[in-house]
């Protein structure tokens, strides 16, 4: 199936809110204030195997008019990332894709990921609906816990598979909130839990990007032989600032802030 950009994001959103209904509740609260929510970006996670590497995931977007704008290196989390933007329509969300550098981890972790890779059909990876295929491989809770000891990112990706890890709302497109702080207060007042790792707001106006996020909603997830409650997806909020020379809003990402945002799926 060849989806339009809008259709693809619609599929990703429906799958995302099915395990993260707080995102839909937040959108509804904002709609009640007369707001229209525009997405700044979505984030996708993968492993750097030959089949599942981020460039294969990116190809789905490259075929739909996106281009790779920038590369990122998350040393501490041992991840590589890229961000893509649509060449013609700036209102299409940016896409942030990262991959775990599996060779930098233990043999045991590498074996588990190789096992996942073995169960994937290469033909499927570049299909649109692969992005919303979820987990199509076997995984025991014991394997999940073993991955978790080395990398929260590895454990999350192995457990949830292919889906948006988070959607990010653009604060710049809201009309009743100007400061990220005010949106955070609004969400806290409405009973949502926000990620407080290094403060509620990651990044500064001087870095041209401020971000905050909810903590991931707990999900009752089925493993082989058992079901467990683990952290799922979170909702993110971004305010971008104009750059001095061009006056245009900064469109990149800040590695140090993303590092902290990744922790929104911590237990
Ligand atoms: Ni993000």
How many angstroms does the Cα of residue 111 sit away from the middle of ligand 1?
A: 29
The mean pLDDT value for 157-162 works out to: 98
The mean pLDDT value for 173-180 works out to: 97
How many angstroms does the Cα of residue 224 sit away from the middle of ligand 1?
A: 30
The mean pLDDT value for 129-142 works out to: 97
pLDDT at 264: 76
The mean pLDDT value for 180-207 works out to: 94
How many angstroms does the Cα of residue 49 sit away from the middle of ligand 1?
A: 23
Question: What's the rounded Cα separation, in Å, for the pair 134 and 119?
Answer: 13
Residue 197 banded pLDDT, cuts 50, 70, 90: confident
Residue 262 confidence (pLDDT) above 80: no
* Domains defined for the chain, CATH in brackets: 5-265 (3.10.180.50)
pLDDT at 64: 97
Residue 260 confidence (pLDDT) above 80: no
The mean pLDDT value for 47-69 works out to: 96
Report percent pLDDT > 70 for the chain.
99
pLDDT at 35: 97
The mean pLDDT value for 179-206 works out to: 94
Question: What's the rounded Cα separation, in Å, for the pair 103 and 53?
Answer: 13
* Mean pLDDT taken over the chain: 95
Question: What's the rounded Cα separation, in Å, for the pair 168 and 166?
Answer: 6
Residues 6+ apart with CB under 8 A from 245: none
pLDDT at 123: 84
Residue 196 confidence (pLDDT) above 80: yes
Q: Kindly report whether the global pTM for this prediction surpasses the value 0.75.
A: yes
Q: Is 216 exposed, middle or buried (0-12, 13-18, 19+ CB in 10 A)?
A: buried
Place of tokens 């609260």: 29
Place of tokens 């499927």: 124
How many angstroms does the Cα of residue 97 sit away from the middle of ligand 1?
A: 10
Do 15 and 160 form a contact (C-beta atoms < 8 A)?
Answer: no
How many angstroms does the Cα of residue 96 sit away from the middle of ligand 1?
A: 7
pLDDT at 195: 93
How many angstroms does the Cα of residue 41 sit away from the middle of ligand 1?
A: 7
Residues 6+ apart with CB under 8 A from 97: 43, 44, 45, 46, 54, 57, 58, 81, 82, 83, 84
Alpha carbon dihedral 146, 149, 150, 151, in 10-degree steps, equals 100
CA dihedral sign, ordered 7, 222, 97, 95:
positive
User: Ion ligand 1 — residues with CB under 5 Å?
Assistant: 43, 168, 236
């Amino acid at each position: 199936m060849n989806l339009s950009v809008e259709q693809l994001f619609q599929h990703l959103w429906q799958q995302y809110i099915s395990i993260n209904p707080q995102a839909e509740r937040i959108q509804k609260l904002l709609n009640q204030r007369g707001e229209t929510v525009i997405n700044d970006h979505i984030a996708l996670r993968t492993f750097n195997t030959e089949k599942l590497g981020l460039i294969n995931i990116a190809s789905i977007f490259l075929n739909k008019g996106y281009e790779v704008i920038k590369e990122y290196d998350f040393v501490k989390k041992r991840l590589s990332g890229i961000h893509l933007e649509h060449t013609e329509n700036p209102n299409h969300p940016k896409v942030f894709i990262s991959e775990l550098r599996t060779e930098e981890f233990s043999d045991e972790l590498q074996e588990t990921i190789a096992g996942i890779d073995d169960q994937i059909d290469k033909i499927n990876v570049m299909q649109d609906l692969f992005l919303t295929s979820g987990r199509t491989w076997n995984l025991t809770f014991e394997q999940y816990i073993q991955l978790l000891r080395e990398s929260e990112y590895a454990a999350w990706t192995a457990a949830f598979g292919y889906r948006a890890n988070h959607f990010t709302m653009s604060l710049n497109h809201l009309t009743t909130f100007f400061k990220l702080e005010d949106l955070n207060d609004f969400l806290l007042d409405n009973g949502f839990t926000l990620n407080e790792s290094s403060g509620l707001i990651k990044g500064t106006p001087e870095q041209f990007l401020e971000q905050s996020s909810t903590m991931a909603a707990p999900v009752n997830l089925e493993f082989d032989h058992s079901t467990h409650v683990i952290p799922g997806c979170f909702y993110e909020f971004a305010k971008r600032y104009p750059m001095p020379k061009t006056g245009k809003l900064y469109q990149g990402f800040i590695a140090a802030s993303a590092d902290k945002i990744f922790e929104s799926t911590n237990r």
